[in-house]
């Protein structure tokens, strides 16, 4: 059974139950009121009889018509069970007990000749000749009129119940359709997404109720799913592009390395100088190939989400990177200006990004050239005083395997700055490249900083400059 039918069935059942209960209560109230009126009239005549004396063969005292009037039928019952009356009312052991003074008055319904009567039996004193004896009086009123009224009332209430149930079923179905229309829209949208994989569909929110909140949550879920799918598609596209670019870039050094090895293997007539030169080329090409593979692995690993971020003193991390750069590039001068700054991230990835910026600046600096390194609340800025970046290359310097006009003569994979951009994006930051007004290039790595309390905790978590660095 569908949800709409179940809701309509429940609504109709609830209304039907309420109508039936109301009809039963109404019937019982009317019946009680009618019988109560008859009982009141019987008791009024009983009081009149008790105020006088009941004589055998004489009419009973009766109240005024406005007070209930006389009962249509009565009967006097002696203690021995003998009776005198105009209708043969039933005499039971309870009746004789009342007549003997052993029981009190009572009211009951009796049937005589197929007709229903309301009978009141109460004790009294009977005058028989000059003597007074205990006895009982039975007063009876017919219930034919009341039975007709109740019969008609039952018919009317039955028709009302049937009509109410039918109307409740119709209105319940209409109400269920109206209430469940947004849920049907949710189901239709979900079915459309399942069949077409189109995540752009949304549900119209009709009201701010439970169903409206469900539609809002469903739209938010679809929007997040669409974003996740777009991110996944972009990640897959980037991975495929990385594999394609890496395959292209790896082909040249592998081909050259294989050619040199083949020459060495077949070159019995090679001189020692040629052999040493070829071996040097093989060593250089293997190092280039190793660096390229390491950069490709770093890019592939960098696509994974950050799960082990910690508070880092950025100024100390950059100071250690500058120490390494001074050791690797002794012909380049590095000047630093550091402010205490803490960031939230992965030390290894941030150190790799900063090292790539320093290596790039050192490679583009002449012998004795100057590289300025600044750390402040905005992030890290690295400036060299080399030839700068060709304006045509500025939009592409952070692309994978891109080699600018000023870098094509140097050995390298073209992945260093791409790794920098990837690390910046992973840490919620960005990286920019620009030409300095007075010659040289400026690279700015912007990272979101953390609070002073976190910076204080990072003081103990990261070593000071000059201490052993657990990063590379």
Report strand pairing: 131-142 vs 115-128. antiparallel
**Cβ neighbours of residue 78 under 8 Å, at least 6 residues apart?**
99, 126, 128, 133, 135
pTM over 0.85: no
Whether pLDDT at 373 is above 50? yes
Residue 451, pLDDT score: 60
| Mean pLDDT rounded to a whole number for the chain | 80
Report pLDDT for 343. Answer: 93
Q: Is it the case that residue 158 has pLDDT exceeding 80?
A: yes
At residue 165 the predicted structure's pLDDT band, cuts being 50, 70 and 90, is confident
Write out the two tokens for 2: 């569908």
Q: What's the pLDDT tens digit per position in 64-81?
A: 544 455 666 888 888 888
Asked whether 70 and 76 are in contact (CB, 8 A), the reply is no
Is residue 444 a contact partner of residue 420, using CB atoms and an 8 Å limit?
no
Q: From 292, 267, 289, select the one nearest 277 (Cα to Cα).
A: 267
Q: What letter would DSSP give residue 396? A: G
pLDDT category of residue 468 using cuts at 50, 70 and 90 = very low
Q: What is the pLDDT of residue 413?
A: 59
Structure tokens at 440: 């040289």
Q: Give me the residue label for tokens 């991390």.
A: 317
Tokens of 398: 């952070």
Query: 124 or 252: which carries more pLDDT confidence?
Result: 124
Evaluate if residue 470 carries a pLDDT over 60.
Answer: no
Q: Could you read off the pLDDT of 248-287 as tens digits, one per residue?
A: 667 767 888 888 888 888 766 777 788 788 888 888 778 7
SS3 390: coil
**Residue scoring higher pLDDT (466 or 12):** 12
Specify the higher pLDDT residue, 68 or 310: 310
pLDDT score of 469 more than 50: no
Q: Which of 9-13, 112-116, 359-363 has the highest mean pLDDT?
A: 359-363
**Residue predicted with more confidence, 281 or 347:** 347
**If DSSP codes are grouped into helix, strand and coil, which group holds residue 251?**
helix
Question: Could you tell me how many residues make up the chain?
Answer: 472
Residue 472 pLDDT greater than 50, yes or no:
no
Q: Which of 424, 461, 318 is nearest to 376 (CA)?
A: 318
Strands, E assignment, 301-458: 310-313, 333-338, 342-345, 370-376, 379-384, 430-435, 441-446
CB atoms within 10 A of CB 41: 20
Decide if pLDDT at 441 tops 70.
Answer: yes
Q: Does 200 or 411 have the greater pLDDT score?
A: 200
The pLDDT value given to residue 19 = 87
In which band, very low, low, confident or very high, does the pLDDT at 3 lie, cut at 50, 70 and 90? low
Please give the domain boundaries of the chain with CATH numbers for all domains.
3-166 (no CATH), 194-302 (1.10.287), 305-461 (3.30.565.10)
The residue that leads in pLDDT, 227 or 234, is 227
Within 10 angstroms of residue 170's Cβ, the number of other Cβ atoms is 12
In this prediction, residue 465 has a pLDDT band, given cuts at 50, 70 and 90, of very low
SS3 helix, strand, coil % of the chain, rounded to 5? Answer: 55, 20, 30
Q: Percent of the chain beyond pLDDT 90? A: 21
Examine the pLDDT at 202 and tell me if it is beyond 80. Answer: no
Using the predicted structure, report yes or no on whether residue 293 has a pLDDT greater than 50: yes
Least confident of 37-51, 54-68, 89-103, 419-433: 54-68
- The token duo for 406 is 């000023």
Higher-confidence residue of 195 and 315: namely 315
Q: What is the pLDDT of residue 196?
A: 81
Half-sphere exposure of 160 (CA within 13 A, CB side): 16
Residue among 5, 35, 201, 3 nearest 116 (CA): 35
When mean pLDDT is compared over 81-90, 416-425, 429-438, the highest value belongs to 429-438
Q: How far apart are CA 431 and CA 423, in angstroms?
A: 9
Contact 371, 383 (CB under 8 A): yes
For tokens 């990835």, what's the residue? 349
- Structure confidence at residue 62 (pLDDT): 56
Q: Which residue is listed with tokens 């029981």?
A: 103
Instruction: Give the pLDDT mean for 364-376.
Output: 93
- Give the dihedral sign, CA 29/31/34/40: negative
Average pLDDT over residues 224-233: 83
DSSP 45-107: HHHHHHHS-EETTSPPP---GGGT---SEEEEEETTS-EEESS-----HHHHHHHTTSS--EE
Percent of the chain at pLDDT exceeding 70: 82
402 touches 415 (CB < 8 A): no
Look up tokens 């870039």; give the residue: 249
Neighbouring CB atoms inside 10 A of 452's CB total 10
What mean pLDDT is predicted for residues 331-337?
94
CA-to-CA dists, residue 77 to 118, 127, 163, angstroms: 17, 12, 51
């Amino acid at each position: 059974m569908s949800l709409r039918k179940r809701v309509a069935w429940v609504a109709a059942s609830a209304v039907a139950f309420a109508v039936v209960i109301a009809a039963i209560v109404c019937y019982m109230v009317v019946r009680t009121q009618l019988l109560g009126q008859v009982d009141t009239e019987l008791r009024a005549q009983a009081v009149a009889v008790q105020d006088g004396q009941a004589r055998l063969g004489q009419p009973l005292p009766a109240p005024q018509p406005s007070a209930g009037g006389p009962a249509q039928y009565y009967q006097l019952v002696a203690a021995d069970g003998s009776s005198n009356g105009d209708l043969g009312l039933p005499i039971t052991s309870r009746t004789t007990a009342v007549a003997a003074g052993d029981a009190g008055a009572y009211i009951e319904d009796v049937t005589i000749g197929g007709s229903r009567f309301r009978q009141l039996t109460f004790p009294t004193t009977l005058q028989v000749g000059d003597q007074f004896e205990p006895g009982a009086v039975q007063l009876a009123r017919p219930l034919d009129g009341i039975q007709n009224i109740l019969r008609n009332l039952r018919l009317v209430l039955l028709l009302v119940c049937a009509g109410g149930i039918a109307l409740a079923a119709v209105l319940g179905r209409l109400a269920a359709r109206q209430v469940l229309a947004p849920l049907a829209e949710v189901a239709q949208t979900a079915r459309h997404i399942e069949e077409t994989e189109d995540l752009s569909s949304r549900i119209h929110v009709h009201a701010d109720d439970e169903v409206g909140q469900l539609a809002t949550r469903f739209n938010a879920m679809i929007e997040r799913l669409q974003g996740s799918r777009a991110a996944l598609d972009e990640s897959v596209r980037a991975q495929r592009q990385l594999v394609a670019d890496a395959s292209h870039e790896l082909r040249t050094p592998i081909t050259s390395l294989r050619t040199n090895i083949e020459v060495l293997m077949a070159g019995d007539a090679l001189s020692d100088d040629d052999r040493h030169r070829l071996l040097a080329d093989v060593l250089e090409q293997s190092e280039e190939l190793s660096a390229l593979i390491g950069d490709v692995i770093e890019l592939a690993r960098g696509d994974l989400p950050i799960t082990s971020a910690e508070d880092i003193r950025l100024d100390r991390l950059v100071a250690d990177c500058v120490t390494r750069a001074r050791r690797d590039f002794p012909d380049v001068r590095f000047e630093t200006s550091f402010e205490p700054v803490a960031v939230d991230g992965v030390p290894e990835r941030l150190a790799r990004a900063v090292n790539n910026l320093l290596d790039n600046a050192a490679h583009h600096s002449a012998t004795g050239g100057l590289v300025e390194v600044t750390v402040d609340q905005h992030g890290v800025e690295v400036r060299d005083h080399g030839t700068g970046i060709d304006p045509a290359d500025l939009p592409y310097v952070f692309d994978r395997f891109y080699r600018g006009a000023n870098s094509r003569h140097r050995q390298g994979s073209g992945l260093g700055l791409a790794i920098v951009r990837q690390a910046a994006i992973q840490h919620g930051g960005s990286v920019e490249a620009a030409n300095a007004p007075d010659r040289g290039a400026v690279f700015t790595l912007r990272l979101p900083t953390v609070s002073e309390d976190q910076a204080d905790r990072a003081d103990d978590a990261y070593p000071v400059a000059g201490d052993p660095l657990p990063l590379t």
